[in-house]
C-alpha cells in the first residue's frame, strides 16, 4: 500500500487521535495521522489534570508534573468543602507528543503541520494540505479526532457542538499543594474557576457560558489578584491560553458512513467538569479496535463502536447536561446564588448524583 492510501486516516493528534493512531497501528493497520499544528501538543489548551487510569501514559520523562490527592470546592457563600480526588498533573504537550510518538513507533505515519481541507466521504477520499502542498488520500476508515470545532463534522454538514469558552493563565505557585481548587459562583454561569497546582506553578482558569453575559478576562484577573493578595500565587502571568469545551453531550450521530468521531469531536467531554482527556483516549482506542474489526469483515463493528460509546459515557454525560441546564434555568432568580443549587450541579457533592427533583 503506497502513501496515497491507508486503512485508517486519523485527523487530529490530541489525546484521542494519538491513542487511536497507536492502537490502530499496533493492530496491524496502515495508519496516516495528521495534525494541523506545527508542533504536536503546542500550544497547550488544557488545565493538565488526568485521572489515575491514564497513569500509564504519564510515565515517559517530562510528562508527570505532580500528584493530586484532593479537591476543594468553594461554594458561592465562601464555604470550602474538601473531598478526595486522585489524579496526576502532566505536561500536556509532552503527553500528546508521547502518544503521537508511540503511534509512530507502532508504524503509523504521522504528519504535523498538515490539515484536512476537503472530504468526499462516499468515495473515502480526503484532501490534505501540508508543507509540500495539497494531496489526496484514499482511506477505508476515517477517525475524526479533530476537537470541539471538528472540521470533519463541518465538511460532512453535521451541526457544530455546543461549547463554552475558557481562559487560563499559568502563574507561579508560592505554596505548593496537592489539591485542585474549584470556585463555583453565580459570576461564572455554566462553568467554574480552577487552580490546579503543577509543582512551582499552577494553572488558574475560568470557563463559562458567554451567552449568559460576563467578562472572562476581568473575572480571571480579579481572581488572580485575590490569590496574589492571599500570597498563594505570584503576580506574573507566565503563559495565557484558552479554548472551547463541548457541553452539549454526545454528538449524534457518532458515526457517518465509515467516519467515526472520538474525543471532543464526539462531544465526549464532561459538560460540567470539562474533563475530556480520559474519554478521548478511551474512545480513540475503541475506534481503532472497531476499524480493525470492520476492515477484517465484521460489518457491524462501526455501529458497535457508536453503541459502546453511548453505553459507556451516555448516562454520565446526560446527567451532566441536565445538571448544567437546571442551574442555567435559574440563573436569573435569587436561587442562583444559593449553595444548594451549586452543590446539585457539581460532581463533588452527593446531591449531584441524586435523581432529579422535577425532571
- Residue numbers of the site for ligand FAD (CB under 6 A)? 11-17, 34-37, 45-49, 115-116, 145-147, 151, 166, 168, 205, 242-243, 245, 263-265, 269, 274-277, 280
CA–CA distances in Å: residue 238 to residues 135, 161, 168, 217: 39, 31, 11, 16
**Concatenated DSSP letters of 303-355:** HHHHHHHHHHHHHHHHHHHHHHHHHHHTTTSGGGGSHHHHHTTSTTSHHHHSP
30/115 with CB nearer ligand FAD: 115
Q: How far is the CB of 151 from ligand FAD (least distance, A)?
A: 3
Query: Cβ–Cβ contacts within 10 Å for residue 91, how many?
Result: 18
CA atoms of 130 and 135, how far apart (whole Å): 8
- Compute the residue count for the chain: 359
Helices 277-295 and 301-329: crossing angle in degrees, nearest 10, is 160
Shortest Å, Cβ 335 to ligand FAD: 28
Closer by beta carbon to ligand FAD, 90 or else 295? 90
Residue 278 grid cell: 480520559
Query: At its nearest, how many Å lie between ligand FAD and the CB of residue 153?
Result: 10
Cα separation, 106 vs 191, in Å, equals 39
Q: Pick the closer one to ligand FAD by CB: 94 or 341.
A: 94
Say if residues 60 and 100 touch (Cβ distance below 8 Å): no
Residue 288 or 341 having the CB closest to ligand FAD: 288
**Could you tell me the smallest distance in angstroms from the CB atom of residue 322 to ligand FAD?**
20
218 and 157 Cβ atoms separated by less than 8 Å? no
Residue 45 or residue 83: which is nearer to ligand FAD going by CB? 45
State in angstroms the smallest separation of the CB of 264 from ligand FAD: 4
Of residues 269 and 341, the one with the C-beta less far from ligand FAD: 269
User: Considering the complex, what minimum distance in angstroms separates the CB of residue 138 from ligand FAD?
Assistant: 17
Q: Which is nearer to ligand FAD, 11 or 29 (CB)?
A: 11
Query: What is the H or E stretch that residue 144 is in?
Result: strand 133-144
Q: List, as one string, the DSSP characters of 263-288.
A: GGGGT-S-TTT---HHHHHHHHHHHH
| Smallest distance, ligand FAD to C-beta of residue 18, A | 7
Amino acid at each position: 500500500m503506497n502513501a496515497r492510501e491507508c486503512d485508517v486516516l486519523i485527523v487530529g493528534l490530541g489525546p484521542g487521535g494519538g491513542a487511536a493512531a497507536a492502537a490502530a497501528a499496533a493492530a496491524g493497520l496502515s495508519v496516516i495521522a495528521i495534525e494541523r499544528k506545527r508542533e504536536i501538543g503546542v500550544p497547550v489548551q488544557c488545565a493538565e489534570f488526568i485521572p489515575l487510569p491514564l497513569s500509564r501514559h504519564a510515565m515517559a520523562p517530562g510528562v508527570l508534573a505532580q500528584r493530586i490527592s484532593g479537591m476543594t470546592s468553594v461554594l458561592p457563600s465562601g464555604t470550602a468543602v474538601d473531598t478526595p480526588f486522585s489524579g496526576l498533573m502532566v505536561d500536556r504537550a509532552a503527553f500528546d507528543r508521547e502518544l503521537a510518538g508511540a503511534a509512530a513507533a507502532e508504524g503509523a505515519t504521522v504528519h504535523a503541520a498538515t490539515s484536512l481541507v476537503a472530504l468526499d466521504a462516499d468515495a473515502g477520499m480526503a484532501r490534505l494540505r501540508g508543507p509540500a502542498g495539497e494531496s489526496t488520500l484514499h482511506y477505508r476508515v476515517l477517525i475524526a479526532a479533530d476537537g470541539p470545532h471538528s472540521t470533519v463534522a463541518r465538511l460532512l454538514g453535521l451541526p457544530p457542538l455546543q461549547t463554552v469558552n475558557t481562559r487560563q493563565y499559568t502563574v507561579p505557585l508560592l505554596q505548593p499543594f496537592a489539591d485542585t481548587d474549584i470556585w463555583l459562583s453565580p459570576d461564572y454561569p455554566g462553568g467554574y474557576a480552577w487552580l490546579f497546582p503543577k509543582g512551582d506553578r499552577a494553572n488558574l482558569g475560568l470557563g463559562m457560558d458567554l451567552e449568559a453575559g460576563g467578562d472572562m478576562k476581568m473575572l480571571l484577573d480579579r481572581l488572580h489578584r485575590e490569590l496574589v493578595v492571599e500570597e498563594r500565587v505570584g503576580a506574573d502571568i507566565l503563559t495565557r491560553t484558552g479554548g472551547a469545551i463541548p457541553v452539549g453531550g454526545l454528538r449524534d450521530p457518532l458515526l457517518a458512513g465509515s467516519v467515526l468521531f472520538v474525543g471532543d469531536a464526539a462531544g465526549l467531554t464532561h459538560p460540567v467538569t470539562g474533563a475530556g482527556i480520559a474519554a478521548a483516549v478511551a474512545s480513540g482506542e475503541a475506534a481503532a479496535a472497531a476499524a480493525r474489526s470492520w476492515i477484517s469483515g465484521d460489518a457491524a463493528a462501526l455501529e458497535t463502536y457508536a453503541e459502546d460509546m453511548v453505553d459507556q459515557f451516555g448516562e454520565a454525560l446526560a446527567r451532566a447536561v441536565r445538571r448544567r441546564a437546571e442551574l442555567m434555568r435559574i440563573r436569573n432568580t435569587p436561587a442562583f446564588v444559593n449553595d444548594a443549587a451549586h452543590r446539585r450541579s457539581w460532581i463533588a457533592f452527593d446531591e449531584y448524583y441524586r435523581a432529579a427533583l422535577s425532571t
